[in-house]
Every structure is written in structure tokens, then in C-alpha cells.
Amino acid sequence: LAKTTQPISMDSYEGQEVNITCSHNNIATNDYITWYQQFPSQGPRFIIQGYKTKVTNEVASLFIPADRKSSTLSLPRVSLSDTAVYYCLVGDTWAGNNRKLIWGLGTSLAVNP
Amino acid sequence: EAGVTQFPSHSVIEKGQTVTLRCDPISGHDNLYWYRRVMGKEIKFLLHFVKESKQDESGMPNNRFLAERTGGTYSTLKVQPAELEDSGVYFCASSQEQGASGGNEQFFGPGTRLTVL
């Protein structure tokens, strides 16, 4: 399973767009890129997943360049409630029955008024 | 639809005692996972059930940890005897079967905070 590198922390202000980039140089052909969000005293929550190019849902967008060695989670117009830790995970979520998630320390995003 | 629930939310025990954590996955989810985060460290995988069978228990720290999932519904994680280094937050997650196009979104419970004194 590929290791990921992302910034430890980021600061932003309400209404701004936030982009969190994750590096995964050793991503394998079958690997997907998944982002989770975690609020204090809660379990992680799935945000978005992609394999290549761009994926968008009601919460965020995920940009993946052609070489797939990095990915960027984009949060449009953040609010105070988006303050959380964001995790980038890379792995083959359909590797037979081996679907464990490998976690890094994540990016702690602080949204200020 | 009810999410993943865990009980208790907090547990404080003394070294050498036994503690049992419970996880109720989302109804119909065959896959159940246990993870743990020790303070200041990454979330670490412990084990994975598919229905009642242990599919992957490579993350279990040692034989003081015993996980069960009787009948393929709820799961328990017992620590006996507990040691100081077992303190942390234990998360449970569940997921459905997914097609080969990817997926396997895991739904997490709120966690059980275990403190061993």
C-alpha cells in the first residue's frame, strides 16, 4: 500500500477555497485515492474517492494528474464547520478481501472567521 | 438508517484488568474493521471481519487482544490483561461489498476512548 505525504496543518478563512495536496509517489496501478474527514471526538468520515482526472461531489472536488503521483482535495468556500483533520489514503480498495486503510497523520485544517 | 455504534464511549481501567469493547455495524454490512489510534500517532488497522470470519488480523498487537464477531453481526474486542500502552481510541468501521470499480467506503463509529492507568 502506498505511503502518502500531506501538510501537517493549514489555515484558511471563511469563504475561501482550500486546496490540500497529497503526494503518493509509489501509487500502484490498482490503487484508488480516498479522502476522509475527521472532527474531534468523532470517527473519520468518507469525503471523496477517485482514480484519475477529476471527481466532484456535493462536498468537494478531487483533482488527480495524469501520473497520479499526487492528488488535490479542493473544498470550495469553506466555513468554520470545515475545521477538521483531512486524511489522504491510497490503496487498492478492491484487493480481494484486503481492504484495510493505511492512515497518515492527516492535515489539520483550521478555518478562521 | 442508523450508523455504526460503539460502546462504551469511554472506559477507564487499571493495568491488568479486562475490558471489552463492542461495535454494532450498519445493518447488512458484511465487512467490519477495528482500528486504533494511540495519542499522537496515526490510526492503525487492527483487523477485518467478513461476516463472522477474520479476514485479516495482521494488525492485532499481541495475544492480549481478542476480537469476535458471532453470527456476523456485532463485534467485540477484548483486551486482557490491559497494559498502559493499550490506551487510545478504538474505532470500528463497516462497509458493504463493492464492485470491482472501486468503492469500499468505510463508515466509522465514534470510537471508544480507552484509558489504562
pLDDT of residue A32: 87
- Residue among B4, B55, B104 whose CB faces A93 most closely: B104
Tell how many helices (H) and how many strands (E) occur in chain B.
0, 11
Domain boundaries, chain B: 5-96+109-116
Residue B95 confidence (pLDDT) above 50: yes
pLDDT of residue A31: 85
pLDDT of residue A107: 97
Q: Assign a CATH topology to domain B5-96+109-116.
A: Immunoglobulin-like (2.60.40)
Residue B114 confidence (pLDDT) above 80: yes
Residue B100 confidence (pLDDT) above 70: no
The label of the residue with cell 494488525 reads B59
Instruction: Give the CATH number of the domain where residue A88 resides.
Output: 2.60.40.10
pLDDT of residue B88: 97
Q: Does residue B94 sit in helix, strand or coil?
A: strand
Cα of B42 to nearest chain A Cα, Å: 5
Q: Does residue B84 sit in helix, strand or coil?
A: helix
- Residue among A32, A44, A102 whose CB faces B108 most closely: A44
Is A97's CB within 8 Å of B55's CB? Answer: yes
**What are the pLDDT digits (tens) for A47-88?**
999 999 999 999 999 999 999 999 999 999 999 999 999 999
Is A99's CB within 8 Å of B91's CB? Answer: no
A98 touches chain B (CB under 8 A): yes
Q: For residue A2, is it within any domain?
A: no
**Contact residues on chain B for A101, CB-CB shorter than 8 A:** 33, 35, 43, 45, 106
The label of the residue with cell 503521483 reads A69
- The tally of domains found in chain A comes to 1
pLDDT of residue B72: 85
Q: For residue A73, is it within any domain?
A: yes
**What are the pLDDT digits (tens) for B15-46?**
999 999 999 999 989 999 999 999 889 999 99
Spatial neighbors of B41 by CB under 8 A, at least 6 apart, are: none
β-partners of residue B52 are none
How far apart CA B57 and CA B66 sit, in angstroms, is 10
Residue A101 confidence (pLDDT) above 60: yes
| Cα four-point dihedral sign B89, A84, A104, A91 | positive
Candidates A62, A84, A82, A65; CA nearest to A73 is A62
- Residue among B42, B99, B106 whose CB faces A104 most closely: B42
Cα of A25 to nearest chain B Cα, Å: 20
**What are the pLDDT digits (tens) for A4-46?**
999 999 999 999 999 999 999 988 888 889 999 999 989 999 9
Q: For residue A15, is it within any domain?
A: yes
Domain coverage including residue A23:
9-112
- Which residue of chain B comes nearest to A37, CA vs CA? B108
Is B48's CB within 8 Å of A97's CB? Answer: yes
How far apart CA B37 and CA B86 sit, in angstroms, is 10
Q: Give, for B74, the enclosing helix (H) or strand (E).
A: none
**What are the pLDDT digits (tens) for B61-89?**
999 999 999 888 999 999 999 999 999 99
Is A49's CB within 8 Å of B105's CB? Answer: yes
pLDDT of residue A5: 92
**Contact residues on chain A for B31, CB-CB shorter than 8 A:** 99
Strands B10-13 and B112-116: parallel
Is A100's CB within 8 Å of B91's CB? Answer: no
